[in-house]
Structure 1
Amino acid sequence: MKIKLPFTSLLLLLLLISYTLQAQQPEIDQVLISGTVLDARSSLPLEGVTVTARSGEQGISNEQGAFSLTVAEANARFSFSLLGYRTQTVVVSSPEEELLVQLQPASANLREVEITGYETNRPLLETAGAVSVVESEVIQRFDESSIVRAVNTVPGVRMDERAPASYRISIRGSSLRSPYGIRNVKLYFNGIPFTEASGVTQLNMLDAANLGQIEILKGPTASVYGAGTGGTILLEPKRAEAGTSQLQVGATVGSYGLRRYTATASSGSDKSNMLVQYSRQQYEGYREQSAVDRHVLLISPEFYVSEKQTVTANIVYSNLYYELPGGLTVEQYRQNPRQARGGMYGSVAQNASIDQELINVGVKQEYRFSDTWSNNTSLYGMHRFQDNPFNTDYERNAYQEFGGRTSFVHQGQIGSVPATYTFGGEFQRGLEASRTYDNNGGIPDTLRSDDEVISKTGFLFAQAELELPADIIATAALSLNDTRYDITRLMQATSGGQYEYIRDFAAVLSPRIALLKRVSDGVSVHASVSSGFSPPTEEEILTSEGTLNQDLEAEKGTNYEAGVRGYVFNDRFSFDVVAFYFRLSETIVSRQDVSSVAVFRNVGSTSQKGLETMLSYSIIDDARLTLSQLRVWGSYTYNHFRFKNYQRDAIVLSGNKLTGVAPHTATAGLDLLTKAGFYVYVTANYVDEIPLNDENTVYSDDFITLGARLGFRRQLGGHISLDIFAGAENLTDEKYSMGNDLNAFGGRFFQPAPDRNYYGGIKVNYTL
């Protein structure tokens, strides 16, 4: 009793104080908020929409789309969410008015997609260029262990994995000079340069979960994005909708030891948008020596300082280890595709692998000086370490870089014609300390070479866009590009001497002219002429075994293209068709020498003609029906790519097919959603036979693969949503090679892809 009495007295005292304080608080007025929610496309009412007030109250719309909610304050913020639709936030200042909310379907059509490429921020229908957009819904059709299958739905683009996490991207045949890695294609993440000054891109340091949208600009885009003949890819993180805060965790397991975990915290308000995301992916591998272990941490806050100023930051930390199984001969490929390259210098014996650690920090500011003037400026710094035991050598590289980009936009008029002027520049400087050793069973041995490489690249650009009468938009742009490499060889085993080599590529002007005509509200046609300039990367000049390639020249090309895109039949059918003709001179190709090291040379010119088509048709699109969505879509690419004026020694190769490019590729898909939350995605992919050497004497077989994902998404109460899924890839159990080694020495062309494999997982999302 002596212990309980003081405790009881204290409890009574706290209850009395709480009651007294509660009695002193003024009464809060209750207001009734009501309205209707409609489908933005069909204007039909939406049932089952979750309406959430900032203060936590929730309601559900009925069959007529009507809802009502009693809340404790006026000037409240409400979010409207429904599976298959974009979450929308509404601020209510006058509760007496009936709200009319129109939700956009998650798969936006051409009218709604805004293109940031070419710095125009226009809808796709008003963009004169071959542009494709891969949204997060497309990435989530697959298991998200990589973005390869999502990117390969885009016509004119081919993404390969020579080994898990070893990416290669080809836009209109640009993989010709990319035996490994990503070259001749520039990438930006959240508007900040991600391609290094050396010309290569470490895309595998990002995770598929980091990406909310991938925007692909095909062909030379040097007018705004500097040197390049392949194209430009703009990556955007996946942010929370305004007025929502959520936590998401997910886990996926699959065949051959796939284990994947993600955790995301995001919050959006009228003052800021915060994103923190961590992912871990492990994979034991289909082949010997093909395991992967990757950690990625992304922190990306965005602050709306004022109506004029927005500040964004990106912090990316990535730690990636992946093994390299190596190429196989056709006999090895047919006998046992799961084996790694063998022998004394085999991949297992030499522990062929790459261990990378990277941190990239960037800051971007968007500032509007007035209604007619604005500026976008970004600065970044990056540090990367790479440890790379290879079959025939061992590389250890440390790389650090800084750079920035700025662009000014002025909106004015020439007489009665609206005009938008954009001008700015970009600069990058990188320093690499590169050492090459003998590889003794996966351990660095005798030092072969010790180099320091300073890479500098930059460009200035200007662009004018005029909105002419008759719904015509004309664009003229120009850029001046410059690249330089300073290579200092501190030590070389064969000579022991020290020397310097400077390669300064002459500044090149690259113009672009484009016209677009709106034929109707839903259809537009466009045409453009552009030139490109692509200097060799640092890895092409200083090869991995330490040889300097002093005679390599920059590629130069001119691209002509015309296209039509639009949507008809009440937005149910969309299409995008582009034809192009690209002439490239001083074409760079790669070959492997006896040590399997890639060497590069200029080979004259190429002629590249092609047709790219994307079609989509919504058979059913009505959230009220049991089967709420049924959509079929497909893409097709035709490539007529040939070498011109190409002779190697006494062998004339002019007229041969371009190495590494399939003449025909096609992808088709079916999307099925139900009102109850069940969904099915089916994707088929066809790739024609591919020439694997410049002589066109070795080809990979054509193949068709089929993948499917089915699952169940459901909102559980007001705060929790659930996504349970299972899927399979290569259901046809095709034996095929993905990411072939081109012009491989010893006939080791083939990098076998996994046979039939499965995965399953769960995502849980909690809305605060």
Structure 2
Amino acid sequence: MKTNLFILFLLVSSNAFAQSAVSDTIPALSEIVIQGFETNRKLLETPVSAGVITSRDLQKFSTVSMLPAINMTPGVRMEERSPGSYRLSIRGSLLRSPFGVRNIKVYWNDIPFTDAGGNTYFNLIDQNTIGQIEILKGPGSSMYGANTGGVIILHSNENQFDADKHDADSHQLQAQVSGGSYGLFGENLQWKYTGKKISSSFTQSHIQADGYRENSRLRRDVVQWNGAAQLSGKDKLSWILMYADMYYQTPGGLTLQQMNDNPRQARPSTPVIAGAKEQKAAIYNKTPFTGLSNQHVFNEHWSNTTSVTFSYTDFKNPFILNYEKRYETNVGVRTKFSYHKVLGIHDIKITTGAEWQYNYSVINNYDNKGGVADAVQYKDKIGARQVYPFIQGGWQIGEKVQLQAGASTNFFTYHYQRLTDVDDAKKKKVLNEQLLPRFAALYRITKNLSLYSSVSKGFSPPSIAEVRPSEGSIYTNLKPEYGWNYELGFRGKTADSRLQFDIVAYQFKLQDALVRRTDNNGAEYFVNAGGTDQKGLEFSAGYTVIQRNEGFVRSLQLSGSATLNDFRFTHYQVNGKDYSGNALTGVAKHIYSGGIDMRTAPGLYLFSSFVYTSKLPLLDDNTVFASPYRLLSARLGWLKKINALSFNLFAGIDNALNQLYSLGNDINAAGNRFYNPAPGRNYYGGIAINF
């Protein structure tokens, strides 16, 4: 079967790598455009702490995961407890995310991807459909609603059309097949079409793996259609249609002794509780997602962008302690009006609008009898509604100064009904709204140097998964977390753009922080932890050593980043224990990364990266720490063009130093089962064709 697919792809077409590999230079700060906070300006001109990951960055690593590329971004950490089980945090927002993505707002272009319940199924996204990932660090509540961690904007990878310049239709066929250690196999097919007034990208992908550990198999199938069309001189419609069918097993956490004895085992059974393998612990997720966005230009000053979204998730989770079935319906609308006026040296832009989202979830819990739903434990209906209006003004004064000021407020309500209770009346909880301002400024010291600063307030209510965690209790006493963020940054480049750098210092004071805890059986629940004081320093730089059109080595580039964290609880007491002053659980104090990117005249290329992560506390009392680890990876390939056909043959190695480490620790875990061992030294390879 795999051999037949391999031959088919060789005969058809291949991956977007060949297209992006034409560019041999690190994108300059003067070229990267930031769209977040309605800036639409080059990074060097933007008062925002941001990380940008291009499709070329994604293709420097394995072809099936965004994780290694994202983890090269300072202040951002992506974890994978087992294949497909992703977690994502920005500046330590992992406290409340045992799995999935919470406290971060995710958009696909202008379309909300995060649901009203506060959850994002980031693991459903196929990286081959992404042209650029824009990460806005720090609270984005002034424009993007409930979050204290930050905002991620995914940009589609379809080609951009220009009605004035595009004369003929064009088609681009791409395909890729790859395989690797532990039964890894992936394939991707993509067709791009660009016409005079329309562009689209249709993608089909499949990934499967046996997994490094017992009970850690993965299968994911995604079909997606992105596009944009110029409907008239005033209207441009964009869309995303996606269907994802994902299954992955969850092996569970191990103690340190169990990990050292056999890191490939699943959580074993005890005399009281069956293990992950015996209970067939896994996640089944089937989700269709639809988003439409229309931009209407009224005149040279006024425009409106309105987006609508709908998704439905059929979610099943046979877990060690129970079997959960969840059916989620999500709808949302986001609209914004923009006014733009240039008066001499003054460039003024005002944006105002609102976002409304609604989530309705039917959540049923059963006893888990060896992977089969048995007796009923609970049956619930839970809904969440978020509404927030926002306004922001931007003022560019000449070439030197840019000012931004914005604010929003929030209206968050959830209702719940326990059908298995005698009192099955519907109950309602309304959270108090807050004013969420943001102020930012940038000063261009020279043409190539900028100083920027911002002050912002973030707000994040408990998600449905925290109000009603998997063990079945409903926690109506949880309060939203909120806090103020202060940051100062300095970025720039040399005149020849060979050296580029970005450095930012920040302090985030969070109140009523939501923190995950577990009971004696390992069932999770959440508490408000009082406050945290999060101080950090982030640095990134890139240097082009060689860039020429002759000689064997055509380009050689070095990159590096550093994340320095001093995160502490300020006042945190639980069950009579005081953890005030302790380091924030699950956050490493130091993370350093570096990379080498080399290309040669014959088409040979080498990408290599190194990441060091320091020890991090696993318990709130700071008595247990995960050991530091060092990850070395490399990808060697050969890119060859024959007329209109491009071949990309590649092979790579991950964890070349064969480190024993946990990429995704279960913090505050019962029985000290903190560790989810990541694969040891492993290999991958594949071929991609494009024409």
- CA spacing shift, 1:414–1:484, aligned 2, 3 Å: farther
Amino acid in structure 1 at the alignment position of 2:134: E
1:260-291 deviation digits (Å, cap 9, x = unpaired) = 00000002233110110000000000000000
**Which of 114, 117, 127 does residue 208 from structure 1 map onto?**
127
Q: Whole-Å Cα distance in 2 between the matches of residues 107 and 85 of structure 1?
A: 12
Q: CA deviation at 1:380?
A: 1.2
Q: Does the aligned pair in 2 maintain the 1:279–1:297 contact within 8 Å?
A: yes
Q: Whole-Å Cα distance in 2 between the matches of residues 742 and 145 of structure 1?
A: 27
Give the match's secondary structure for 2:120.
Answer: coil
Question: Hey, what does 1:725 align to over in structure 2?
Answer: 650
Question: Hey, what does 1:659 align to over in structure 2?
Answer: 585
Q: Whole-Å Cα distance in 2 between the matches of residues 543 and 335 of structure 1?
A: 32
1:569-617 deviation digits (Å, cap 9, x = unpaired) = 4000000000001100111111111232211111210000000000000
- CA spacing shift, 1:415–1:107, aligned 2, 3 Å: closer
**Which of 513, 531, 538 does residue 612 from structure 1 map onto?**
538
Question: Hey, what does 1:165 align to over in structure 2?
Answer: 84
Amino acid in structure 2 at the alignment position of 1:671: D
- CA spacing shift, 1:706–1:511, aligned 2, 3 Å: same
Q: Whole-Å Cα distance in 2 between the matches of residues 384 and 172 of structure 1?
A: 29
Q: How does 1:242-257 map to 2 (within 5 A)?
A: 242=161, 244-257=170-183
1:110-141 deviation digits (Å, cap 9, x = unpaired) = 10111110012111111101111000011001
Q: Whole-Å Cα distance in 2 between the matches of residues 112 and 396 of structure 1?
A: 47
Q: How does 1:603-752 map to 2 (within 5 A)?
A: 603-717=529-643, 719-752=644-677
Q: CA deviation at 1:675?
A: 2.0
Q: Whole-Å Cα distance in 1 between the matches of residues 325 and 399 of structure 2?
A: 59
1:494-520 deviation digits (Å, cap 9, x = unpaired) = xx4413221211111100001101111
Q: How does 1:514-553 map to 2 (within 5 A)?
A: 514-553=440-479
Amino acid in structure 2 at the alignment position of 1:740: N
Question: Hey, what does 1:6 align to over in structure 2?
Answer: none
Give the match's secondary structure for 2:102.
Answer: coil
**Which of 753, 757, 762 does residue 678 from structure 2 map onto?**
753
Give the match's secondary structure for 1:557.
Answer: strand
Q: Whole-Å Cα distance in 2 between the matches of residues 623 and 364 of structure 1?
A: 42
Does residue 183 of the first structure (1) align with residue 102 of the second (2)?
Answer: yes
Amino acid in structure 1 at the alignment position of 2:81: R
**Which of 100, 110, 133 does residue 52 from structure 2 map onto?**
133
- CA spacing shift, 1:296–1:679, aligned 2, 3 Å: same
Q: CA deviation at 1:467?
A: 1.4
Question: Hey, what does 2:144 align to over in structure 1?
Answer: 225
- CA spacing shift, 1:483–1:597, aligned 2, 3 Å: same
Amino acid in structure 2 at the alignment position of 1:749: F
Does residue 763 of the first structure (1) align with residue 688 of the second (2)?
Answer: yes
**Which of 371, 377, 382 does residue 306 from structure 2 map onto?**
377
Q: CA deviation at 1:681?
A: 0.2
1:146-174 deviation digits (Å, cap 9, x = unpaired) = 11111001000111011111111111110
Give the match's secondary structure for 1:209.
Answer: helix
Q: Does the aligned pair in 1 maintain the 2:619–2:668 contact within 8 Å?
A: yes
Q: Whole-Å Cα distance in 2 between the matches of residues 749 and 727 of structure 1?
A: 29
Question: Hey, what does 1:467 align to over in structure 2?
Answer: 396
Q: CA deviation at 1:179?
A: 1.3
Q: How does 1:478-497 map to 2 (within 5 A)?
A: 478-492=407-421, 496-497=422-423
Ranges in structure 1 where 5+ consecutive residues have no aligned partner: 1-80, 87-104
Q: Whole-Å Cα distance in 2 between the matches of residues 547 and 475 of structure 1?
A: 43
Q: Mean Cα displacement is larger for which, 683-692 or 621-630?
A: 621-630
1:480-539 deviation digits (Å, cap 9, x = unpaired) = 1121111111114xxx44132212111111000011011111111100100011100011
Does residue 289 of the first structure (1) align with residue 208 of the second (2)?
Answer: no
Q: CA RMSD in A?
A: 1.4
Q: Whole-Å Cα distance in 1 between the matches of residues 408 and 301 of structure 2?
A: 23
**Which of 291, 296, 321 does residue 367 from structure 1 map onto?**
296
Q: CA deviation at 1:248?
A: 0.6
Does residue 386 of the first structure (1) align with residue 315 of the second (2)?
Answer: yes
Amino acid in structure 1 at the alignment position of 2:67: V
Q: Whole-Å Cα distance in 2 between the matches of residues 255 and 745 of structure 1?
A: 32
Question: Hey, what does 1:193 align to over in structure 2?
Answer: 112
Question: Hey, what does 2:11 align to over in structure 1?
Answer: none
Q: CA deviation at 1:239?
A: 1.4
1:460-490 deviation digits (Å, cap 9, x = unpaired) = 1000111125611011100111211111111
Question: Hey, what does 2:188 align to over in structure 1?
Answer: 262
Q: CA deviation at 1:547?
A: 0.4
Q: Mean Cα displacement is larger for which, 643-652 or 737-746?
A: 643-652
Q: Does the aligned pair in 2 maintain the 1:84–1:106 contact within 8 Å?
A: no
Structure with more contact order per residue of length (Cα contacts < 8 Å, sep ≥ 6):
2
Q: Whole-Å Cα distance in 2 between the matches of residues 196 and 470 of structure 1?
A: 39
Q: Does the aligned pair in 2 maintain the 1:559–1:582 contact within 8 Å?
A: yes
Q: Does the aligned pair in 2 maintain the 1:477–1:512 contact within 8 Å?
A: yes
Q: CA deviation at 1:201?
A: 0.4
Give the match's secondary structure for 2:394.
Answer: strand
**Number of residue-to-residue matches in the alignment:** 664
Q: Does the aligned pair in 2 maintain the 1:427–1:459 contact within 8 Å?
A: yes
**Which of 106, 115, 118 does residue 34 from structure 2 map onto?**
115
Q: Does the aligned pair in 1 maintain the 2:345–2:398 contact within 8 Å?
A: no
Q: Whole-Å Cα distance in 2 between the matches of residues 358 and 629 of structure 1?
A: 42
Q: Whole-Å Cα distance in 1 between the matches of residues 118 and 189 of structure 2?
A: 32
Does residue 152 of the first structure (1) align with residue 67 of the second (2)?
Answer: no
Q: Whole-Å Cα distance in 2 between the matches of residues 519 and 347 of structure 1?
A: 58
Give the match's secondary structure for 1:256.
Answer: coil
Q: CA deviation at 1:683?
A: 0.5
Q: Whole-Å Cα distance in 2 between the matches of residues 651 and 440 of structure 1?
A: 37
Q: CA deviation at 1:108?
A: 1.8
Question: Hey, what does 2:518 align to over in structure 1?
Answer: 592
Q: Whole-Å Cα distance in 1 between the matches of residues 454 and 396 of structure 2?
A: 16
Q: CA deviation at 1:625?
A: 3.5
Question: Hey, what does 1:17 align to over in structure 2?
Answer: none
Q: Does the aligned pair in 2 maintain the 1:254–1:757 contact within 8 Å?
A: yes
1:382-430 deviation digits (Å, cap 9, x = unpaired) = 1110111000000011111111111111012578632110111111111
Amino acid in structure 2 at the alignment position of 1:488: Q
Amino acid in structure 2 at the alignment position of 1:309: D
Does residue 349 of the first structure (1) align with residue 278 of the second (2)?
Answer: yes
Amino acid in structure 2 at the alignment position of 1:198: G
Q: Does the aligned pair in 2 maintain the 1:211–1:237 contact within 8 Å?
A: yes
Q: Mean Cα displacement is larger for which, 328-337 or 561-570?
A: 561-570
Amino acid in structure 2 at the alignment position of 1:579: A
Q: CA deviation at 1:106?
A: 5.8
Q: How does 1:9-88 map to 2 (within 5 A)?
A: 84-85=21-22
Q: Does the aligned pair in 1 maintain the 2:26–2:542 contact within 8 Å?
A: no
Q: Whole-Å Cα distance in 2 between the matches of residues 415 and 566 of structure 1?
A: 27
- CA spacing shift, 1:632–1:470, aligned 2, 3 Å: closer
Amino acid in structure 1 at the alignment position of 2:445: V
- CA spacing shift, 1:416–1:614, aligned 2, 3 Å: closer
- TM normalised by structure 1 equals 0.85
Q: Whole-Å Cα distance in 1 between the matches of residues 642 and 381 of structure 2?
A: 57
Q: Whole-Å Cα distance in 2 between the matches of residues 82 and 399 of structure 1?
A: 38
Q: Does the aligned pair in 1 maintain the 2:158–2:227 contact within 8 Å?
A: no
Q: Whole-Å Cα distance in 2 between the matches of residues 502 and 212 of structure 1?
A: 41
